[in-house]
Copies of this chain bind each other. A is one copy, B any other.
Amino acid sequence: MATPTAAMIVIGDEILSGRTQDKNMHHLAGELTAKGIPLTEARVISDEAATITATVRELSRRYTHVFTSGGIGPTHDDITADAVAAAFDAPIDVREDARALLAAHYAKSGTELNAARLRMARIPEGATLIDNPVSAAPGFTLGNVHVMAGVPSVFRAMVASILPTLTGGAPVLSESLRVIRPEGEIAGPLGALAAEFPDLSFGSYPFIKDGVFGANVVVRGTDASALAKAVAALRVTFPDAA
């Protein structure tokens, strides 16, 4: 079986303006890695219908799964559901199952299911709902696109709802070593090791902490035995690594 692939689309002018720092991408990336569905690309785009539709169309053709966050609330700038429907040429309207979820949720607190809230029951034809245990308004999966909320607590709950339903690949294993040497001294031996283990990927992520230069060396791969051998070789090369 070919390894499934994934892309994420973060929809939100508030991220692009620097007002808010996105946290959903980092969360999804970790969950997908653990599941064996590598995140290959992520995009942050603005709240524009044509941009959302074009990006969903492009990425849904290219990847096994596409995950979106943002733009499914009750306000006028929440246009993701309609834009995703357009990407698949699917009709969209208030759907009875989604409306029932909202009606039950708001009835509990005696809150009115007004016209704005009813917008959150707009679900494209053919989509499957994604459970939202936090605030009821569902996400949905249309084709290979999983449409989720931008509020981090709701996004996480939806990811937890949807991920167990997807088929993962072989999980990518990784080991990391913290080497307190400047990257310029790590580079030579690391490159040689990378050439010796062509099925593993070797990354070097430099840092500067309290004026000291170091790097986290990360080895990744699906073959546990090759990974163990490479890490043993790394420890010989960098005996001071933590």
Assess whether B187 is in contact with A13, with CB atoms less than 8 Å apart.
no
Is A208 part of the contact surface with B, judged by Cβ < 8 Å? yes
Assess whether A203 is in contact with B77, with CB atoms less than 8 Å apart.
yes
Assess whether B43 is in contact with A17, with CB atoms less than 8 Å apart.
no
How many monomers of this protein are in the complex? 2
What residues of chain B lie closer than 8 Å to A167, measured between beta carbons?
A: none
Number of interface residues of A (CB under 8 A): 73
Assess whether B16 is in contact with A40, with CB atoms less than 8 Å apart.
yes
What residues of chain B lie closer than 8 Å to A154, measured between beta carbons?
A: 208
What residues of chain B lie closer than 8 Å to A191, measured between beta carbons?
A: 75-76, 116
Assess whether A111 is in contact with B26, with CB atoms less than 8 Å apart.
no
Is A33 part of the contact surface with B, judged by Cβ < 8 Å? yes
Among B23, B27, B41, point to the contact of A43 (Cβ < 8 A). Answer: B41
What residues of chain B lie closer than 8 Å to A174, measured between beta carbons?
A: 17, 19
Stretch at the interface among A44-52, A91-99, A140-148, A227-235: A44-52
A203 to B18, CA, bound (A): 14
Is A190 part of the contact surface with B, judged by Cβ < 8 Å? yes
Within 8 A of B (CB), among A1-43: 13-23, 25-33, 38-43
What residues of chain B lie closer than 8 Å to A115, measured between beta carbons?
A: 188
